[in-house]
Structure 1
C-alpha cells in the first residue's frame, strides 16, 4: 500500500481523433455579446488535458450542416470537472457584411443547460513545455522542434 501516492487525474481529451460530447452546465453573461460557457467533464475528477498552446474544436449539426470551430478554453488543467470557454456571440443582423451572424456562436447561445456539444482535441502545432521551452511542429505530420526562449511577448486577440 502506498500512503503518499499522488493520483493522476483522468484526462478527457485522450485522442484528437475522438469527439467527446460535453454537457453545458452554466452560462454567464459577460457583456451584451460575450458569454462564458461552462461544460461538465465526464466526472468531477476529470481534467480537460489540453496542453498550453493547443486548442479544441467544437462541432455541431446546424441547419443540417456540420459546423466546426476552434476555441481556446480559459480554464486550465488545475480545474477539475469542467471546462470554460469565453465566446463572443455574433448575432444576426448586427454587422452588414455578415447578416447571418456567427453560426457556432449563435448555436452556443441557443443551447439549454443540459444540452451537449462535441469537443475534439488537443489540436495545434505548438506546445509550451514550461521554463521557456516550446515544442513546435512545422506541420501536423512532423516531429516537434524544441526551441528555448528567454522572453515571450503575447498579444490577446480574436477574429
Structure 2
C-alpha cells in the first residue's frame, strides 16, 4: 500500500489479502533471530499469566490486566492477530479468542477489555458467556492459560496487510458489531501512532444501544486527535438520548456508501461481528455497491 492509503472500519471487519507473498513472509519471519523478549514463544504451547488488575469500565465491561514474565517482556502478538484463553469451567474445557487492546509497545503486561455476558439476561443464551463470567470471577493473583499468536491477518505497517497473501491497500474498510471492536481498535491505534503511516481508516461500529458501545471514549479521542487519518461512525438499534448524533438502525447500503470509501483495487474491507450480521447486513450491501470478494476479509 502506498503513502496515501485509506482504511475503513465498520460494523464488522473485512479484509482481502494475497497468499504467496504472505506465506513467504510468514516463513521468513520465523527464521529471523531477535533479542526482543516475547512471552508467546510457541503458538502451540499454553502459557499461564497472572491477573494483576481488574477495572470495572461499565456495569458489564471489565479491563483485565495480566502480567508478563518480566517488565522487559512484550506479549509477542502481531497487529491483526489474536490469542486463545482456555480454562476448565464446570468440568468442560472452554477456549475463546480475544484480542488485547494493548500492543507489543507495552512491556510487562497486556490488557483485555471484555464484556461480561451474565446468565439469565438474554433468553437465547440463558447460561451467559462461560469465559467472560469465569474471568469476571477471577481474583487478583489467579492465572489463565493463553496460547497464540493465531489468525490469518497481519498488519505489516504503511498500509500493507497480509493474509495468506500480501496485498497493499489504499482504502481499508471495517465493519464491526458489539465486542468485535477490539481487533479493529488495536489496528487503528497502530496506524494512528505512526506519523509515517498515511493509511486512512473509516469505521462503522454497530451496537444495540449507546450503553453497549465498547471503547467509545477511546475511539472518539482517536478521532479527535487523528482526524486526518481516522473517521468514526456509530449506529445503534435504538436510542434513549435526544442528543444522539449518529445513525439508528442496521448497517445498510446507504450507510456504507456514505461512510466508507468506494470499492477499488487498493481497498480492503475488514468485518468482525456475529456471522448473521456479516451474512445478512454486510455482504449483500457490499455486493450491491460493487465490492468484490477480493476486497473483503471477515475475522
Q: Same fold (TM over 0.5)?
A: yes
TM (norm. structure 1) is 0.88
Q: Note the 1:80-119 alignment, pairs <5 A.
A: 80-119=107-146
CA distance in 1, matches of 2:158, 2:175: 19
SS at match of 1:153: strand
For 2:102, the equivalent position in structure 1 comes to 75
CA distance in 2, matches of 1:60, 1:114: 15
Match status 1:40 vs 2:67: yes
For 2:175, the equivalent position in structure 1 comes to 155
CA distance in 1, matches of 2:53, 2:128: 23
Bigger radius of gyration: 2
Higher strand proportion: 1
SS at match of 2:86: strand
Greater relative contact order (Cα < 8 A, sep 6+): 2
CA distance in 1, matches of 2:110, 2:117: 22
Picking from 134, 137, 142, the partner of 2:161 is: 134
Aligned residues: 146
CA distance in 2, matches of 1:156, 1:113: 31
For 1:4, the equivalent position in structure 2 comes to none
TM (norm. structure 2) is 0.48
Listed as ranges, the gaps of 5+ residues in structure 2 are 1-33, 181-273, 275-299
Higher helix proportion: 2
Picking from 135, 141, 146, the partner of 2:166 is: 146
CA distance in 2, matches of 1:8, 1:155: 37
CA distance in 1, matches of 2:129, 2:166: 37
